[in-house]
Chains A and B, each alone.
Chain A
Amino acid sequence: MTNRSIEEILAGLLDSEVPHVRVEVLATEILALAPDEAARQVFMVLKDRPNEAVLRAVLPLIAELARREDRWDRLVERSLRGQGRCPRAIREDLRAALRSVAGQDLPPTRPIPLEDEDIIGNRPGRPGPARSVRDRRGELRIPVTTEMTNLRYLSRLFDALGQAGSKVARAKSVVMDLNGVDHLFIGGLVVLATWCDRHRIQPRIENAPSSTAAYLDRMGLGRWVEGAAQIGPYSDPSGWGVAVTSLGTDASESLAGRLTDLCVKHAWVGARDRTALVILFAELIENVRRHAGGQTIARVGAQYYPRKHRLNLAIADTGIGVRASFENGRNDVARARMRGGESPLRLAIAPRVTSKPVTTPDEPGHAGYGLYIASELAVRNGGTFRITSGASTLMRFRGWNPARQTPYRGTEEESHAPWQGTVVTMVLDLEQLLPISDVYATLPPPRGYADDDFFS
């Protein structure tokens, strides 16, 4: 048994001109210390060093490992799927090398989640009207469609839940009708679960195709489905998602860690991007915990789409909402701006604007960084950021610069039934950078302080 770590072994490999025999020795060394974690660790080292020379040097070692040890099939499988930011030429070499080792008998693969383009296409405009909520003999029946759960069309889900909200108190039972719905998206699931928590109801799922019922079960909502296995609230066993989880069950650190692990496990996320992700998730979760008000019901969930390296994330709460937070808060300037006609959602994502500033050293308060950093990071990543509160939704995406104060061009709309609370959804492209340092550079500089003032 060797005493060297996998990182040291790989560093040795990278420092030398490697004859084939050396690769075999190293493979023996790694397999000697390899429990199931070994394949993952080697892959992580590779992900942290995404340059061509490193990948080319390590390629023979990976191939050798895959040839000699069955469990490296998992590495083969993951490498073929999640190469992320690996340069295209290397990606193809890696694929060819691994295929030559594994032959045609690659291990059976888990089903890859379909993306919105696969399901609902890129339709211009908004889809037609939804079937309306029915209330018959005490049974409240809410028809749910695939489109309603998609991040782009969540306004339709808000409309349906708005209709249902006025009737739910009288209903003896609530049914989510999934007739013909063979796909659901994470954004809608998070909103639906939060709405049910708020009204303290457990709906019954009807007419769901078996694949949809299985997905609900995997995403922690198996209790809605008769006969489902109910696998627990945390992990989607398919490995591509983080189940819809209540923010009341775990610490922010733990939830942020689980969301980050999902990205690191599947995408080509280096150490810096890992840092950016954990900061982003922690700030979003803390923002809900701190701003939504006491006894808040909130849920978070995420789904990774490996073919496009995209992460969809949703976090919903049933708190007091952004407008009321500013109205009831201690920030007189922000309240005056809002009363003067400024959008509360624009204020919420502006840097250093908070409803609860610190006014005395002992008083709990905030600084107004969280939502700004999340939205700016999404924009710079080429992703999207949406925030809904009340009847308004504001969306930020690449190309929209709030500093220019240009008109919104359709990025803010008031067109759906009010959501009591706040919903934030994000799409991130994990093949692109998450430049957190650039985001910090856009924070307004304090007057009278140089850039490195506090480190001198």
Chain B
Amino acid sequence: MTSFDLTRFGKDLLTRDQGTHARVALREAVRKLAPGERIVVDLDRGGAVTPSFVDECLGRLVLEIGESRFRRSIQLRATEESTRRLVNRVLGHRASEARTKRTAG
């Protein structure tokens, strides 16, 4: 398991710009993963996480690499109920969109 440090993008993760930087770094980390390995993304860092950040960083990564690779490569962690709820809603919709587009394509 490799840990992906979100704190380097800010104490509070608020904007799409922060989300873009985090996604680019996360995508690179996923690319370098050895087979069977996973990256842990810990969302419990004490700061706030906005829907825009979650969508830009994680939601768009689901669109980019697909839901199954996302699940194989990334282990999400959060104890705060609101964060878990938000992430599931956002990622569920993006995964659903990705599936629809693949089917249509």
Q: Which residues of A contact B (CB under 8 A)?
A: 251-253, 256-257, 272, 274-275, 278-279, 282-283, 286, 290, 352, 358, 361, 366-367, 369-370, 373, 436-437, 440-441, 443-449, 451-455
Indicate with 1 or 0, residue by residue over B82-95, a CB within 8 angstroms of chain A CB atoms.
10111111111101
Instruction: Kindly identify, within residues 11 to 29 of chain B, every residue whose CB is under 8 Å from any CB belonging to chain A.
Output: 12, 14-16, 18
Closest Cβ of chain B to A349, distance in Å, is 14
Cα distance A253–B12 in the bound complex, in angstroms: 8
Task: Tell whether, in the assembled complex, residue A282 and residue B93 are in contact, meaning their CB atoms are under 8 Å apart.
Answer: no
Residue in A358, A373, A449 whose beta carbon sits within 8 Å of that of B96 in the complex? A449
* Residue of A251, A361, A455 most packed against chain B (CB within 10 A): A455
List residues of chain B with CB within 8 A of the CB of A358. 60, 63, 97
Task: Tell whether, in the assembled complex, residue A286 and residue B14 are in contact, meaning their CB atoms are under 8 Å apart.
Answer: yes
Closest Cβ of chain B to A48, distance in Å, is 12
Residue in B15, B16, B51, B59 whose beta carbon sits within 8 Å of that of A373 in the complex? B51
Task: Tell whether, in the assembled complex, residue A361 and residue B96 are in contact, meaning their CB atoms are under 8 Å apart.
Answer: no
Closest Cβ of chain B to A439, distance in Å, is 9
Which 3 pairs across A and B sit closest by C-beta, in order of nearness? A446-B92, A437-B82, A449-B92
Task: Tell whether, in the assembled complex, residue A455 and residue B50 are in contact, meaning their CB atoms are under 8 Å apart.
Answer: no
List residues of chain B with CB within 8 A of the CB of A290. 16
Provide 23 A-B residue pairs closer than 8 Å at the C-beta atoms, listed in order of the A residue.
Answer: A251-B15, A252-B15, A256-B12, A275-B48, A286-B15, A286-B52, A367-B51, A367-B52, A367-B59, A367-B93, A369-B52, A373-B51, A437-B82, A440-B82, A445-B89, A445-B92, A446-B95, A446-B96, A448-B96, A449-B92, A453-B88, A454-B76, A454-B92
Cα distance A367–B50 in the bound complex, in angstroms: 12
Give the B interface residue count (CB, 8 A): 35
Task: Tell whether, in the assembled complex, residue B88 and residue A283 are in contact, meaning their CB atoms are under 8 Å apart.
Answer: no
Cα distance A369–B86 in the bound complex, in angstroms: 10
List residues of chain B with CB within 8 A of the CB of A455. 76-78, 84, 87-88
Closest Cβ of chain B to A257, distance in Å, is 7
Cα distance A282–B60 in the bound complex, in angstroms: 19
Task: Tell whether, in the assembled complex, residue B96 and residue A369 are in contact, meaning their CB atoms are under 8 Å apart.
Answer: no
Quick one: closest B residue to A455, CB to CB?
B76
B10 interfacial contact with A, CB 8 Å: yes
Closest Cβ of chain B to A425, distance in Å, is 21
List residues of chain A with CB within 8 A of the CB of B37. none
Task: Tell whether, in the assembled complex, residue B51 and residue A454 are in contact, meaning their CB atoms are under 8 Å apart.
Answer: no
